[in-house]
């Protein structure tokens, strides 16, 4: 039941169909919902859409997406997001974000690549 409501909620928020507050907490909650339901494609798509509309993600937003990507084994996409955080400058990755990606790389037996992140 919950799985069906998350996409509807994201459309409502993204398109401004109602007067719900559009803030980081609301967007982060929806992204987390997509991730918890195993729908990473929708989480990434929603993230890209709201960023395109001017939303400024914070470290929680980035971390939620990166965690989901690492959990499904898409470490390369998580690294790209980590690099995007570094480039933006307004949201520097911290110990949690680096540890998440390094852990995922090590699980993939890519220890050399993990060491390069230091």
**Domain CATH number, residue 14:** 1.25.40.10
pLDDT at 10: 52
Q: What is the pTM of this model?
A: 0.80
pLDDT at 11: 55
Which residues constitute the domain of residue 45? 2-116
The answer, yes or no, to whether residue 43 has pLDDT greater than 50, is yes
pLDDT at 1: 44
Chain segment 48-99, per-residue pLDDT in tens: 988 898 888 999 999 999 999 999 999 999 999 999 998 887 788 999 999 9
Total structural domains within the chain? 1
Chain segment 1-33, per-residue pLDDT in tens: 444 555 555 555 555 555 556 788 888 999 999
3-state secondary structure the chain: CHHHHHHHHHHHHHHCCCCCCCCHHHHHHHHHHHHHCCCHHHHHHHHHHHHHCCCCCCHHHHHHHHHHHHHCCCHHHHHHHHHHHHHHCCCCCCHHHHHHHHHHHHHCCCHHHHHHCC
């Amino acid at each position: 039941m919950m799985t069906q409501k998350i996409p509807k909620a994201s459309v409502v928020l993204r398109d401004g169909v109602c007067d719900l507050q559009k803030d980081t907490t609301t967007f982060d909650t929806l992204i987390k919902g997509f991730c918890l339901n195993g729908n990473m494609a929708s989480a990434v798509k929603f993230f890209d859409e709201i960023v395109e509309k001017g939303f400024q993600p914070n470290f929680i937003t980035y971390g939620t997406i990166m965690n989901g990507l690492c959990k499904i084994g898409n470490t390369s996409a998580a690294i790209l997001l980590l690099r995007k955080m570094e480039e933006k400058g307004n949201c520097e990755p911290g110990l949690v974000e680096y540890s998440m990606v390094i852990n995922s790389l090590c699980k993939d037996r890519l220890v050399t690549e993990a060491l390069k992140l230091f």
